[in-house]
Each structure stands twice: as structure tokens, then as C-alpha cells.
Amino acid sequence: MRQPTVQKRPRRRHRVPFPLTDTAELFEGGEILREFDSDVAVVLWKSYKNVMLWAGAHHEDRAGLFATGAGERRRAEIRATSAEAAIEQPLQELAALLDAPGEADAVMIAGACRALSAWAAARNASASALLFMQAAALTSPADADAACSVGRMARNRAEYARAETWFRQAIVAARAAENWTAYTQAYVGLGKVFTHRGALPSARRALVLAYRTATRHHLRELRGWALSDLGIVSIQAGRWADACACIRNALTIYGPAHPLSANLVHDVAYGWIKEGWFAPAVRLLAKVGPRLSDRLVRVHVSSSLARASGGAGDGTQFNAAVAELRDLSTDPALAALMPDAWLDVAHGAASLGRWDSAEQAAAAALRLAENQAQARVRFEAEATLASIRGDRVAATLRGASAIRVPNAVSELASELAGLLDETADAHLVGASAV
């Protein structure tokens, strides 16, 4: 007897509102003119405008978009500016767009924009990097990786609304292409946006989705990242058991041979700091700190080290960590991290009895958190500032020797320190997956 055919449910097309592309800058592409000098800035800016015009035009209208001879004039400009070798090829490819816009290859244009974005990012021109990556994503709407990169860059600049829309766009594009890596990365990124905003239930849902997808499609490393971020959410929600469990599972996934992510170590140490177990936290963070090249992770580690060393009574370590943080605070690409960072410094300074420094740091954290609409940090900064100002003597920030460190924590600290020693020669990546 023939089995009845199971009819597949028709796939519903998943739609989201078009992602936000406007910046705070009124003048189109003005960020590029600000971040670069000389005629190279003008050539980059014009190339960006050309791509945005092309990407926004309907296919049928593209043929007559640019004036005759515009491509040749652009090539002459590129020769005249003596652009760096790294960007000459992408600029030439964008000049070719002016010759025949009706037949231009979207993939090539997107690739040129990505190259320019990477070049700008390497020069700490984060706004320009974001603009070019956004141009790449608009040129190639099916490219989930580009959309995900835009989301990540926007998130790092504390533009959370924009980041959210681009991560959602990445999710749609990744699902359509069955690109489960980008799909997972986008949900991890979305989870981080919600975490920054203090929307912990939404963050948890996004990260659980990321974890499930990574598990289903055997994406081991991304599964670890989802677990690591779930650990962060649990720490912020005050669920220590869940946090430790998530991070242990993440460590299990990585294994001792895997170059240990500094983020993971930091997450563990930060949880201990919240419990007042400063000594093991200082031990781990001090080991991790010198190996880091990624500035993003250095901010996390330096601020946590400042808090932990303050709590442990180590003034020298505290001063070194704050000096490092001051250096990093000038980078606009790290803007989203600074409110939390200064709050940690405030706690560390208060633990050391340096009340003036504590008050300054807490006030800075509050000001930055208000500007960036980081609700959770704002509330914590207000409470900390009130505590410091109201009663400096009776401030309830824990002192160095007040809390006994449980044996399990000391054991885990030893375990992780051992792992760090084992991987001392391995490159400590320290970069987030998203």
C-alpha cells in the first residue's frame, strides 16, 4: 500500500522592515571626509556616493545613471591622488561602475566596498568602515555576512537601533540562503544588542536560538560563543549557577587544546568579581591581559582588572589597569563599552578608599550611559554614585578580605590558569565571533 505523501508546509517568506541607514551626520558621507585627509578622502567619498546611488536605483534605471566619461575621469583622479596600493584596486573597480552601471556586477562592487571598509577599520576610521560595509550590504542584499558585519560595527559604536535592524536583516538573508553560520552569528549579535540595552529576556531568547541553531548544524565554536554570552546574561540577571554552568559548558566545547578565548576567561572572572571573590579574578585577568591584541577585549579585561585589583587591595595593579583604559577610551569604535568600564573603575577606586576618583569615574559612566541609552548601566551608575556621595564611610562596596573564596572557585581558577599556561604559545585570539 502506498504511503500518503507528506506535503511539505509552504515556506513563509520572512520579512523585516528595511534596516536603518541614516547616520547622525546630515551630510551624506560626511564621516569619510572627516576621518581622512587629502584628496584620497574626496575620492573615497565620491566612490561611496556613487555606490549608494547605484544601490538605491532600480535595475532598469541604472544604465543611464552616470555621465559619459565619468569612469575615465575617476581613474585619472585615482592616479593623481597616488592612493595606497591596498585601496587602489577597489577604487578602480568602483570607477568601472561609472563606465557601465547597467552591467555592473553587484558581487564585485560589494567586494570592493568590503575591502575599503577593512582598510578604513585598520586605520581606526570606524565611521567610514561602517559606511562602506553598509554600502556593500545594500549592494548585495542577499549577503548575510555583510549585513551581520554592519550590525556588529553599529553595535560597537553604540548605535543599537541601527545594529538591531541590520542583525534582523542578516537573519532573514541567512535563513533564505540557509547560511546557518551567519544565521547563528546574527542571533548572537542581536543577543548582545539586547544585553547592552538591558533587555535580558530578549537577549536570552536570541542567544538560545543561536545555541539551538549552532547545535543543530554542528557549529561547535559558535555554540561556545552562544553559551558564553548566555553566561553573561545569567551573570547580569544574578543567576550565578546558570552562569557558571554555561561557561563550564563553553569551556568543555573548546577543550584544553583550543586557544582559550579571553572573553571566556573574562566572563568567569567577572562573575567572581560580582561575588566579591577578587583574588582569583585578579589572578586570571592579570594572566590574560598582556596577551591581548584586540582592543575591544582589552577594554573588558582592563576594566574588570581595575575592579578586581581594587577589591583585592592592589593599588599598583589598579593604577596600571586604569592607565590602559584611559588610552583605550579615546577610540570611538569602543564607545559602547566605556560606560561599563568606568563603572568598574568606580567600584575598584571605592574599594581602595579613593573616593574622589570613584566619584569621577561613576559620574563619567552615568554621563556616557545616558548618552548611549544603556539603561542597565545608567541605573547602576546612579546607585553607585549615590552610594559614594551619600556615605563614603559606610559604602557597601566589599573590601579586600571580607569574603571567603569557596574552594570550588579556587579550583576553577587553578584549572583555568593551568589552561592559560598550556596555551601560552598559542595565539590568544581574543576576538568575538560577532
Partner 1 sequence: MNRVVPPVLLLHPDRAFCERVKRACSQRYRFLPVSSWSDLREALHSAPPLAIVIVDPYGGDHARHGLSSALHGLLREFPSATVIAACEIRGGCLEQMRTLGEWGVTRMISLEEEDTAHAIARVLESSRGRPLRTLLQRTLTATMSGRARAIVMSATDVVSTGGVGRDLARSLHVTPRTLQRWCRNAGLPAPRQLLAWMRLLLAAELLDDPGRSVLGVALACGYSSDAALRNAFRAYLELSPNALRDRGAFQTVAKAFQKALSASAPKSPAARPRPDDEVHPVSVIPLRTRSAAGARQALPCSAIEA
Backbone angles phi, psi at 398, to 5 degrees: -70, 145
> Toward partner 1, which CB reaches closer, 76 or 426?
76
Closest approach of Cβ 236 to partner 1, in Å? 13
Spatial separation of the C-alpha atoms in residues 171 and 188, rounded to whole Å: 11
DSSP state string for 95-146: HHHHH-GGG--HHHHHHHHHHHHHHHHHTT-HHHHHHHHHHHHHHSTT-HHH
Burial (CB < 10 A; 0-12, 13-18, 19+), residue 202, is middle
- One residue of 132, 160, 270, 318 binding partner 1 per CB under 8 A: 160
Spatial separation of the C-alpha atoms in residues 368 and 362, rounded to whole Å: 10
- 3-class state of residue 209 by DSSP: helix
> Toward partner 1, which CB reaches closer, 212 or 274?
212
- One residue of 66, 183, 254, 278 binding partner 1 per CB under 8 A: 66
Q: Segment 203-242, which members bind partner 1 (CB under 8 A)?
A: 204-205, 208, 211-212, 215-216, 227, 230, 234, 237, 239, 241-242
* Piece in contact with partner 1 (CB under 8 A), picked from 176-184, 243-251, 288-296, 410-418: 243-251
SS3 content of the chain, % helix, strand, coil (to 5): 75, 0, 25
CA quadruple 389, 393, 397, 399: dihedral, nearest 10: 150
The yes or no reply on residue 202 touching partner 1 (CB under 8 A) is: yes
The yes or no reply on residue 157 touching partner 1 (CB under 8 A) is: no
The yes or no reply on residue 128 touching partner 1 (CB under 8 A) is: no
> Toward partner 1, which CB reaches closer, 216 or 326?
216
Give the closest residue to 189 by CA, choosing from 157, 162, 163, 159: 163
> Toward partner 1, which CB reaches closer, 98 or 364?
98
Spatial separation of the C-alpha atoms in residues 197 and 300, rounded to whole Å: 17
Closest approach of Cβ 330 to partner 1, in Å? 21
The yes or no reply on residue 81 touching partner 1 (CB under 8 A) is: yes
**Helix (H) or strand (E) segment spanning residue 227:** helix 220-236
* Piece in contact with partner 1 (CB under 8 A), picked from 198-206, 273-281, 307-315, 386-394: 198-206
Closest approach of Cβ 22 to partner 1, in Å? 6
Closest approach of Cβ 78 to partner 1, in Å? 11
Q: Segment 344-383, which members bind partner 1 (CB under 8 A)?
A: 372-373, 375
The yes or no reply on residue 184 touching partner 1 (CB under 8 A) is: no
Closest approach of Cβ 167 to partner 1, in Å? 8
- One residue of 114, 157, 168, 196 binding partner 1 per CB under 8 A: 168
How many residues bind partner 1 (CB under 8 A)? The answer is: 71
* Piece in contact with partner 1 (CB under 8 A), picked from 24-32, 176-184, 355-363, 407-415: 24-32
How long is the chain?
434
The yes or no reply on residue 45 touching partner 1 (CB under 8 A) is: yes
The yes or no reply on residue 79 touching partner 1 (CB under 8 A) is: no
**Residue 338 neighbours by CB under 8 Å, 6+ apart:** 299, 329, 364, 365, 368
